Amino acid sequence: MPQEFWRWIESRWTAPDKEWRSAKVITAGVDVGSVSSQAVVMTDGELYAYSNMRTGSDSPNSATNAMNRALEGTGLTLDKIQYTVGTGYGRVNVPFSQRAITEIACHGRGANFLYGPTVRTVLDMGGQDCKAIHIDEKGKVTNFLMNDKCAAGTGRGMEVFADLLGISINEIGDLSLKVEEEPPPVSSTCVVFAKSEASGLLREGWPKEKVIAAYSSAMAHRVVSLLERIGVEPDFAITGGIAKNVGVVSRLEKELNIKALTPKYDTQIAGAVGAALFARELVEKGK
Amino acid sequence: MIANFGFKDGSGEFFISLDTDKCNGCGDCIPACPGSIFEVRDEDPNDPFREIPVAAVKESERRKIKYTCGLCKPVSDHPPLPCVGACKAGAIAHSW
């Protein structure tokens, strides 16, 4: 079987010092995205376990798989979770959730929890769309914006490039920074156009790192225009898979002239964390 | 919260902005829009704890507003927009 360069690393985590049996409220959030699915379990409003997996062709299954993976080895079962909120692209397809909340609200809330109350601007660079969100100190959304329909400047675009260049997606960010001189950005971030433009550049003899640098800066540039619309107020946090790509993040920081906060956890779990936090609030309100 | 519903066409990026703090969910925007893009939702999907109904661009229309809104917005002129005029609370705004 040929190597699949786009395959990113799945992850799973359990809090080393927590015991779910002594928790009063156990809630969960499941974020079924177009590319990845995450399940987060929280005990009394604190992170207990999470998993981050690829979404398959079947959303209900992806949600169940992510949940099973998060619960693995903890002894915790689905019936002990008091409330589950689904979010993301496949939010209505989470079979064990009691409610669906949009990823906009969840990412705002999740970023507030993961990066602290000083975060005002959240950029979610997801698998197939980008969202710019402005939040207040409680993580409530005050202004948001998403692009209409396009995978330009998203994780899926990066996967396509990894495949085209034959470089693992986990190394592509570092590689793009190895250019001596920053090349001009590719003229379109549209994945299809950019891919054919990149093929042309490769044929002209451009090294791979130069091509990926040109794509990364086009991607950063596109997102900056989205962010400028809502205004970038510090602190600034990036969530989603592209937040792990230093090539895009560093170019974005340079163009915006602002540093993004450094994540403590997997950047892809923000939506699911927000969902689990909403679930806890809904339990407390008795809804 | 200001909810921006955006679209992109040959002349740039445009947004319909709904200020949900001003919106009272009256629904006057629904008949006013010739493209019927608005709806009033009992719960705001972006703000789960909101108590009153709120107007939003329909999910089925969100990706087509390029075509529906474009008709009210000629490039040569800035006529008053029916949705903006119908909203007594002043919650709807458009970028040109």
User: Is pLDDT of A287 > 70?
Assistant: no
pLDDT (0 to 100) of residue B9: 66
Residues of B at the A interface (Cβ-Cβ below 8 Å)? 1-4, 6-8, 13, 15, 45-49, 62-63, 65-66
User: Is pLDDT of A2 > 70?
Assistant: no
Compare CB distances from B6 to A142, A143, A146 and report the shortest one's residue: A146
What is the CA angle A40-A64-A14, rounded to 5? Answer: 30
Q: Please enumerate, as own/partner, the contacts of A181-187 that have beta carbons within 8 Å and a separation of 24 or more.
A: A182/A213, A182/A217, A183/A210, A183/A213, A183/A214, A183/A217, A184/A214, A185/A214, A185/A215, A185/A217, A185/A218, A185/A221, A186/A214, A186/A215, A186/A218, A187/A218
pLDDT (0 to 100) of residue A107: 94
Compare CB distances from B45 to A102, A147, A150 and report the shortest one's residue: A102
- For A179-211, how does the pLDDT look when each residue is reduced to its tens digit (9 = 90+)? 989 999 888 777 888 888 889 999 999 999 999
User: Cβ B47–A105 below 8 Å, yes or no?
Assistant: yes
Chain A residues with CB inside 8 Å of B66's CB? 148
pLDDT (0 to 100) of residue A147: 66
Per-residue pLDDT of chain B (96 residues; tens, 9 = 90+): 888 887 766 666 778 889 999 999 999 999 999 999 999 988 887 888 888 899 988 888 887 888 888 888 887 778 889 999 999 999 999 886
List the single residue in A with minimal CA-CA distance to B61. A148
Give the integer Cα–Cα distance in Å for A170 and A162.
9
Residue B18's domain spans which residues? 2-94
Between residues A174 and B11, the one the model is more confident about: A174
Torsion angle (degrees, nearest 10) of CA A115, A121, A126, A131: 150
Tally the domains of chain B: 1
Provide the CA A186 distance to its chain's centre, in angstroms.
24
- Fold match between domain A11-110+269-284 and domain A120-260: yes
Give the integer Cα–Cα distance in Å for A139 and A116.
9
Chain B nearest C-alpha distance from A104 (Å):
6
Q: ipTM, 2 decimals?
A: 0.74
Please identify, in words, the CATH class of the domain defined by A11-110+269-284.
alpha beta
Compare CB distances from B1 to A101, A143, A148 and report the shortest one's residue: A143
A-B Cβ pairs (cutoff 8 Å, strict):
52
Average pLDDT of span A76-104 = 90
Provide the CA B23 distance to its chain's centre, in angstroms.
11
Between residues A30 and A223, the one the model is more confident about: A30
Antiparallel, parallel or unpaired: β A26-32 and A83-87: parallel
The per-residue pLDDT of chain A, averaged, comes to 89
Average pLDDT of span A70-83 = 91
8 A C-beta contact, residue A66 and residue A271: no
Give the integer Cα–Cα distance in Å for A129 and B62.
14
Residue given tokens 């997997």 in the structure block: A266
Beta bridge mates, A124 = A131, A239
User: Cβ B1–A225 below 8 Å, yes or no?
Assistant: no
Fold for domain A120-260? Nucleotidyltransferase; domain 5 (3.30.420)
User: Is pLDDT of A146 > 80?
Assistant: no
Between residues B46 and A20, the one the model is more confident about: A20
8 A C-beta contact, residue A158 and residue A127: no
Average pLDDT of span A54-75 = 89
User: Cβ A101–B45 below 8 Å, yes or no?
Assistant: yes
